[in-house]
Amino acid sequence: MRGQAPAKASLFWALRRQFMLLDIFYLGFTGSLLVWALLSWCWPSLRLYETSPRFDWALKPHLTLITELALFFGIYLVLQRFAIVFQRDYYAQGRAAPLWLRLANLLYTFSPAVLAPTLFQGLGSFMAVVSGVPGVESHPAFDPAQNYDRAATYFDLALKQLDISLFGVYLPAWIRQFHTPGLSFVLFYCYIGYYICPFVAALPQIIRGNWQRARLATAMAIGSLLITYVLYILVPATGPRFEGSWSAWLPAEGGWFWANEFSVFLDRQEIIRWDAFPSGHVATSITCLLVALIMHRRVGWAYLPLVAGLTVATIYFGYHYATDVLVGFACVAVCFAVVWPLAQWWERATNPPAPNWQTRL
């Protein structure tokens, strides 16, 4: 028994030497989806919910789904092997790496920012085929006379009722009285500030060549994002736009500088809309904001107004229930309580002692 403990510790140390925490997050999540998809191919009943027949449009062949997941897993794994060589054999030892390896490491660092959104676009089909999505018609408050979006689920009505119970009003509808072209313009362009949040968190440290901090920042961003992906699977909902058409939730007066038109464009890029609970925009952008304020404060302060406007915009434009935003805040808290210390501890296997994280740019 005494010999087993050191052996287990040695194996765990070897795991930390071969994979960084960011890898565990991404490969663990993608690999879990892949295994679940393979098992459900043999046992279709291995699901959380029965998928409503109204979602037949979201289905795709099991083999296609498995192939896509395997591709996402494999591409990342190849990049990861280059990155671990860079980290373990060069950066941690203070040696200069070849240019091609530095470029491969840079590609690896930002690969989750590309692969995770691509994975997200296929997540809806995974939910329809594997985990299951209950239709809006299964909720007791379902109204056959209501014009529901084709993606409306049981949880949309449940979250609407929860919003009203918590706040006394249905905030996505109540806030419409404040719609103005100027405010719509400001809030929409704050909303799309979400797409730069991984760069806000990690890019300044990459420019400084501090890969340990860059990986911590990226792990925080991807950690918060994947937490929201898990909750999408557990609570599939399309958001307040489940009632009526999407255009019904646009401001009656178009925002300045084509804000409405760009909003419609973004909406059309989203293939399947079961990503309301929680707000991934709120969770990930606030996580990246706080990381920036800790690591490079001036960049964080510059990003703060965009994140504040983004948080309001999620409800203002009918993208999310107020409950989604609150749970997004909770995801941030979980990320800092768990991922932040875990990432620093994990890095000690391949790094010299961690630097002072409070150093500013």
- Positive/negative CA dihedral, 205, 211, 212, 214: positive
Cα distances (angstroms) measured from residue 238 to each of 241, 252, 276, 328, 344: 7, 21, 5, 15, 36
Write the pLDDT tens digit of every residue in 306-339. Answer: 999 999 999 998 889 999 999 999 999 999 999 9
Q: Tell me the domain boundaries of the chain.
A: 4-347
- Report pTM: 0.88
Give the DSSP letter string of 37-84. HHHHHH-TT-SSSPPPGGGGGG---HHHHHHHHHHHHHHHHHHHHHHH
Of 130 and 177, the one with more pLDDT? 130
State residue 360's pLDDT score: 39
Of 83 and 31, the one with more pLDDT? 31
Q: Can you tell me the distance from the alpha carbon of 24 to that of 11, in angstroms, rounded to the nearest whole number?
A: 15
List beta partners, residue 135.
Answer: 153
Of 348 and 149, the one with more pLDDT? 149
Is the per-residue pLDDT at 355 higher than 50? Answer: no
Query: What are the φ/ψ torsions at residue 152 (nearest 5 degrees)?
Result: -60, 135
State residue 257's pLDDT score: 54
State residue 12's pLDDT score: 63
SS3 243: strand
Give the DSSP letter string of 202-214. HHHHHHTT-HHHH
